[in-house]
Amino acid sequence: MHKTAKPICVFLITLISIGDLIAQNNCQHQVEGWVFEINSNEPVPYATVSIQGTTLGSIADDNGYFIIKNICDEEFNLQLSHVGYKPIIHHHDVYHESPTIYMAPDEQILESIVVEGEAQASDIFSGSISRISSEDFHDVESENLGEALGTISGINMLSTGQNIVKPIIHGVHSNRVLIINNGVRHEFQNWGAEHAPEIDPSLVDNLEVIKGAATVRYGPDALGGVVLINPPPIDLESHLHGEIRITGKSNGRSGETTARLSKGYKRFGLMAEGSWLRQGDLHSPDYQLTNTGKKEISYAGGMRYHLTNWDFEAYYSHFDQELGILRGAVNGNLDDVQNAIENEPPPDTEPFSYDINNPKQKVVHDLFKLKGVYQGTNQSLSFQYGYQVNDRQEFDVRRGTNNELPNIDLQLKTHSLDIDWNHQPWGKLSGIIGIQNQFQDNNNIPGTNTPLFIPNYAQYRIGIFAIETIETSSVLYETGLRYDYQHSSISGREQNNDIFRNQLDFQNFTATVGLRKKLSESLTFRSNLGSAWRPPNVSELYAFGRHQASIEYGLWRYTQDEDGNVTTSEILTEIDRPVKSEAGYKWINTLNISRNKASYEITGYFNYIRNFIFTRPAGITNTVRGAFPFFLYDQTDAIFWGFDYSSKHELARQVELELQASYLWSKQTTGDFFVGQPPADIRLATNYQPNIGWFDQTTIGLGFQYTFKQFQAPRIISIAELNEAYTNDGNIFDDDNSDFDILAEPDGYILTNLSWNSTVGKFEWTLSIKNLLDISYRNYTNRLRYFADEMGRNVSVSISYRL
Amino acid sequence: MLHILKTELTTTMNKNILLATCIGFFMIACDSDDPDPENAEEIITDVTLSFNGTGGGAPLEFKAVDPDGDGPQNLQIQGDIILQAGQDYVLTIDMQNSIEGESISAEVEEEADEHMIFFGWTDGLFTDPTGDGNVDNRSDAVNYNDQDGSGFPLGLNTSWNTASSGSGTFRIILKHQPGSKSATSTATTGETDVDLSWNITVE
């Protein structure tokens, strides 16, 4: 172990000692930049640019380009103004990249903004990256995070009812999708399909999705992709500005208030935001969805302090949520499941209420972050410390006083320390080198009166990576390498409450190669081949027990003899059953075409995952409660391929058309299909911007989404067949233990959405109607699709005021 | 109390310092804490039916046992029910969690307003109640001797009169019906805590 410590120290010292630390202080500085119109991205010629407090200044040329030379100070305030546009002041220093200014017209609610360098939070250039910009995100921020992400082509939602939604990227989800919130790996109980990320979209400014295997940059788990979530930036020299927003929705009779304020001084900036939400029972077109209410409070605050070469940032956010799960989805044995499936409305349906009863989840997530960035000449060095505490409690319907107790109660604490160095170009090479440390402690909080579903563990991870690029006039080549090491200490209890312990080590190298080539003025091609890995999660190794209507045994909690008989009395180790890390190889290609009045993006991908960990059905066990199917964790190899398409067309001066489509094919190499993989879909949206009376700006949108029936689905074994097999004492999984589903895939459906958005002065209001035609449908990737229809029509009205 | 609080705080602080140290000095092994034991209170491992003949004599006991609870081992029904013809019996049902040494039937009795036991049997086995029981139809006859606070039947204690002869099956279903137990709630309302079937002979 100590052998590795030495090179790390050398590495750190090298990082710190490199760099031109001597400041120059004569009148030889200069600044150049570009000025664009915020909506059209067209250059704004003749904009006036000046340095505050001096006589220096310039006028932008026909291309919006300006340059000011002979500046004496290293940092200064850049003033920009133009007739008809909102003026802006930008604090700039010579170490930061050239600014690009987006000017907003006077009559619009948008503010002018400045972007330094390439406006991209990720450092992968050859991967396929989809963004939801700050302005677009505004339209989806009253949804939950999973739904907001689902608006991107190729990303689907894995849901458990309407309140628990997590992203599926190109067919993989949970532990295979990494979420980076505000620069910090969001650490939560990601192993459960019914554990949604604890992030409130109303506090988010914009987000990006990398649809490639971005493990080299972000660490293990990024087999399908990475979601980067960015809070609002904290600007210097900005007036007190912010937004207050109130949203009401008809379905669930929900109300939400969000407020955001920020102010920037010369060296100092502050930001605070908060959100409150209350939602009652939702309803499908035909009946109430009992116990689907939600309560949510979240707030965040950030601070920035700027010195010539340094930027410091402190950030804290808090998220607190209580959500109900459809009452009719609680089942006992197989008979109960069958009864729940056959009954519509679902069992225990009651009139509307704001009450949240069992089954429910209570989650709290706190994030504290400190970051320092040193900006040198053509290089930067950043240090980031993050501390997260994630509390998760899950409540089932239980007998007596146990009903007040959670049956799962976990606390996960995560410390992380990341150091990144964007080095000076070495010849033609430029790139980033970094080291990432993480320490985690996961504990069961005593008092659940339920055998532990997962054991306690402490886990340490370190990763070292380098990503380098060479750019010629038309091609950018990119390559990266990473090494990760993980040590875990595990401590749990057997069924008879005896302690078991284990120490585990995993390590791996990952690599990426890619290119970005400009084929012509309007054509860009990106290709990236990346490897990714993921050590088996503690839950996959040690899960034990009943979770709703099925029973699961982790990889090291069962043994199976030649006749298929399963015993769980012993706890295995890596010697009894070696478990290899999952290793993924994803090749992704993207073609961007931008023509005069249209832009297209076409992405094709192929992902091969070795040692893919999944659950397979292994039998039916009879208990006093009746019969239950049980599932065993196992490993296989799997293939995922597919494509995403999206395009935008300007049909007329005020009419825009957007088209999206995605298709995924996935299978285990043994020939089995997976349950619950997203079916193909097509989306069409039109936006019309008419000039209406006294509104400054109006957008009317009409959207259609067609979701196909999933035709690549595993076999169906109905509950009746399971029951029959059990009664006849036949193990139907002896001959064929391939995966199965208990109900056929739902039919395809078309959803219609309508929205109207207008601004008047500083006010903005939005009316939006989802599922306009109030159709009844079921979503294949909703785990509660067996029991109830999806939500019916939802009319939402929101009013916001910007200052 | 204050002392306890202080100790807890110190423990938490120490833990945090330890965690920070783990990061600071990279490779130090940081061990996981042992979890506290949890008692699986809700598992039912033993169910015993006691038929007490009103004419006296030792009660006839029939058991179903599942020692590993939710484990993969199947439940064992220990022997068929054999009752004497033309007899009056009082049936009491006892449920135990043998892993914890806990009486589940006592708990069910305490929570009578949330529980109900349903009975189903092959038609003709009993002269009173007649029929095939209330599993398929709530309003069918079963002679309950116990009630909850609202006067709805519970089922831990019931009365039976056997016919002259016959054989078939005898099924009991214990339902957990929090908030939904009523005069009309059925064997499909709520969650199943117990669902067992015995072969039965009246001779």
Residue A686: per-residue pLDDT: 95
Residue A773: per-residue pLDDT: 97
Mark yes or no for CB contact B19/A452 under 8 Å. no
Residue A570 has pLDDT above 70, yes or no: yes
Strands A225-230, A177-181: pairing kind = parallel
Name every chain A residue with its beta carbon within 8 A of the beta carbon of B75.
622-624
Residues B9, B132: contact at Cβ < 8 Å? no
Residue B21: per-residue pLDDT: 52
- CA–CA separation, A667 vs A664, rounded Å? 10
What's the mean pLDDT in A117-136? 70
If one compares A625 and B180, the residue with the highest pLDDT of the two is: B180
Strands A65-71, A75-81: pairing kind = unpaired
Chain A within 8 Å of B69 (Cβ-Cβ)? yes
Chain A within 8 Å of B73 (Cβ-Cβ)? yes
Chain A within 8 Å of B109 (Cβ-Cβ)? no
Strands B166-176, A268-279: pairing kind = unpaired
Q: Which residues pair with A360 in a beta bridge?
A: A324, A395
Segment among A312-321, A494-503, A735-744 with least mean pLDDT: A735-744
Segment among A130-139, A337-346, A759-768, B91-100 with least mean pLDDT: A130-139
If one compares B27 and A163, the residue with the highest pLDDT of the two is: A163
The percent of residues in chain A predicted with pLDDT above 70, rounded, is 94
Min distance B67 CA to chain A CA atoms (Å): 9
What's the mean pLDDT in A396-419? 88
Mark yes or no for CB contact A335/B195 under 8 Å. yes
Residue in B with minimal Cα distance to A438: B23
Confidence of residue A109 (pLDDT cuts 50, 70, 90): low
Confidence of residue A118 (pLDDT cuts 50, 70, 90): very low
Residue A684 burial (C-beta neighbours within 10 Å; 0-12, 13-18, 19+): middle
B16 φ/ψ angles, rounded to the nearest 5 degrees: -65, -40
- CA–CA separation, A503 vs B32, rounded Å? 10
Confidence of residue A629 (pLDDT cuts 50, 70, 90): confident
Residue B15: per-residue pLDDT: 54
Confidence of residue A750 (pLDDT cuts 50, 70, 90): very high
Mark yes or no for CB contact A347/B189 under 8 Å. yes
Strands A379-395, A408-426: pairing kind = antiparallel
- CA–CA separation, B67 vs A622, rounded Å? 12
Mark yes or no for CB contact A630/B72 under 8 Å. yes
Residue B117 has pLDDT above 60, yes or no: yes
Confidence of residue A740 (pLDDT cuts 50, 70, 90): confident
- CA–CA separation, A303 vs A264, rounded Å? 10
Name every chain B residue with its beta carbon within 8 A of the beta carbon of A1.
27
Residue B26: per-residue pLDDT: 47
Average pLDDT taken over every residue of chain A:
87
Cis peptide bond N-terminal to B129, omega within 30:
yes
Residue in B with minimal Cα distance to A567: B72
Mark yes or no for CB contact A493/B194 under 8 Å. no
Which residue, among B11, B28, B45, B70, would best test binding to A if mutated, counting the most A CBs under 10 Å from its CB? Answer: B70
Confidence of residue A796 (pLDDT cuts 50, 70, 90): very high
If one compares A509 and A803, the residue with the highest pLDDT of the two is: A509
Segment among A309-318, A524-533, B6-15, B118-127 with least mean pLDDT: B6-15
Of the candidates B41, B74, B192, the beta carbon closest to that of A449 is on B41
Which residue, among A10, A399, A413, A443, would best test binding to B if mutated, counting the most B CBs under 10 Å from its CB? Answer: A399
What's the mean pLDDT in A149-166? 89
Of the candidates B19, B40, B196, the beta carbon closest to that of A449 is on B40
What's the mean pLDDT in B123-137? 92
Dihedral angle, C-alpha A64, A70, A76, A79, nearest 10 °: -30
If one compares A721 and A280, the residue with the highest pLDDT of the two is: A280
DSSP state of A43: B
What's the mean pLDDT in A788-795? 95
- CA–CA separation, A185 vs A236, rounded Å? 27
A597, A651, A699, A772 from A690: Cα distances, Å: 19, 14, 7, 22
What's the mean pLDDT in A798-803? 91
Residue B16: per-residue pLDDT: 57
Return left, alpha or beta for A253; rule: phi > 0 is left, psi -120 to 50 is alpha, else beta: left
Residue B19: per-residue pLDDT: 54
Name every chain A residue with its beta carbon within 8 A of the beta carbon of B177.
none
Confidence of residue A123 (pLDDT cuts 50, 70, 90): low
Segment among A22-26, A759-763, A787-791, B198-202 with least mean pLDDT: A22-26
Of the candidates A450, A490, A624, the beta carbon closest to that of B38 is on A450
Residue in A with minimal Cα distance to B171: A626
If one compares A736 and A166, the residue with the highest pLDDT of the two is: A166
Residue B8: per-residue pLDDT: 46
Question: What's the ipTM?
Answer: 0.73
Of the candidates A347, A444, A460, the beta carbon closest to that of B30 is on A460
Residue in A with minimal Cα distance to B65: A624
| pTM recorded for the entire structure | 0.85
Residue A14 has pLDDT above 70, yes or no: no
Mark yes or no for CB contact B71/A458 under 8 Å. no
Chain A within 8 Å of B45 (Cβ-Cβ)? yes
Name every chain A residue with its beta carbon within 8 A of the beta carbon of B190.
347-348
Confidence of residue B192 (pLDDT cuts 50, 70, 90): confident
Mark yes or no for CB contact A339/B111 under 8 Å. no
Residue A482: per-residue pLDDT: 95
Segment among A649-653, B113-117, B186-190 with least mean pLDDT: B186-190
- CA–CA separation, A103 vs A91, rounded Å? 16
Min distance B34 CA to chain A CA atoms (Å): 5
Q: What is the pLDDT of residues B43-76, one digit of tens each?
A: 888 999 999 988 777 889 999 988 777 677 777 8
Residue A568: per-residue pLDDT: 83
What's the mean pLDDT in A480-485? 94
Mark yes or no for CB contact A456/B176 under 8 Å. no
CB pairs < 8 Å spanning A and B: 172
Residues A668, A373: contact at Cβ < 8 Å? no
Of the candidates A415, A446, A630, the beta carbon closest to that of B23 is on A415
Mark yes or no for CB contact A626/B34 under 8 Å. no
What's the mean pLDDT in A457-474? 92
Segment among A187-201, A207-221, A339-353, A713-727 with least mean pLDDT: A713-727
Min distance A718 CA to chain B CA atoms (Å): 18
Q: What is the pLDDT of residues A655-692, one digit of tens each?
A: 999 999 999 999 999 888 888 899 999 999 999 999 88
Of the candidates B26, B70, B107, the beta carbon closest to that of A399 is on B107
If one compares A691 and A604, the residue with the highest pLDDT of the two is: A604
If one compares A440 and A671, the residue with the highest pLDDT of the two is: A440
Which residue, among A418, A488, A507, A623, would best test binding to B if mutated, counting the most B CBs under 10 Å from its CB? Answer: A623
Q: Which of A623, A85, A774, A445 is nearest to B43 (CA)?
A: A623
A6, A576, A737, A792 from A555: Cα distances, Å: 36, 10, 16, 41
Chain A within 8 Å of B176 (Cβ-Cβ)? yes
Residue B5: per-residue pLDDT: 41
Residue A143 has pLDDT above 60, yes or no: yes
- CA–CA separation, A109 vs A131, rounded Å? 22
Name every chain A residue with its beta carbon within 8 A of the beta carbon of B26.
5, 8, 437, 460, 462
Residue A3: per-residue pLDDT: 43
Residue A17 has pLDDT above 50, yes or no: no
Min distance A583 CA to chain B CA atoms (Å): 25
Chain A within 8 Å of B44 (Cβ-Cβ)? yes
Of the candidates B69, B72, B191, the beta carbon closest to that of A397 is on B191
Name every chain B residue with its beta carbon within 8 A of the beta carbon of A490.
32
Chain A within 8 Å of B172 (Cβ-Cβ)? no
Task: Name A440's Cβ contacts closer than 8 Å, sequence gap at least 6.
Answer: A187, A412, A413, A414, A415, A457, A458, A459, A460, A461
If one compares A91 and B88, the residue with the highest pLDDT of the two is: B88
Name every chain B residue with its beta carbon within 8 A of the beta carbon of A415.
19-20, 22-23
Chain A within 8 Å of B23 (Cβ-Cβ)? yes
DSSP state of A312: E
If one compares A245 and A137, the residue with the highest pLDDT of the two is: A245
- Tokens standing for A57? 């200044």
What's the mean pLDDT in A545-556? 78
DSSP state of A251: T
Q: Which residues pair with A252 in a beta bridge?
A: none
What's the mean pLDDT in A736-743? 82
Name every chain B residue with its beta carbon within 8 A of the beta carbon of A499.
34
What's the mean pLDDT in A523-527? 93
Of the candidates B19, B111, B180, the beta carbon closest to that of A400 is on B111
Residue A113 has pLDDT above 50, yes or no: yes
Residue A22 has pLDDT above 70, yes or no: no
Confidence of residue A644 (pLDDT cuts 50, 70, 90): very high
Q: What is the pLDDT of residues A240-280, one digit of tens each?
A: 989 999 999 999 999 999 999 999 998 899 999 999 999 99
Average pLDDT taken over every residue of chain B:
83
DSSP state of A190: T
Min distance B148 CA to chain A CA atoms (Å): 14
What's the mean pLDDT in A555-572? 84
Residue A648: per-residue pLDDT: 93
Segment among A92-96, A634-638, A672-676, B10-14 with least mean pLDDT: B10-14
B48 φ/ψ angles, rounded to the nearest 5 degrees: -125, 125
- CA–CA separation, A730 vs A721, rounded Å? 11
Residue A26: per-residue pLDDT: 67
Min distance B86 CA to chain A CA atoms (Å): 30
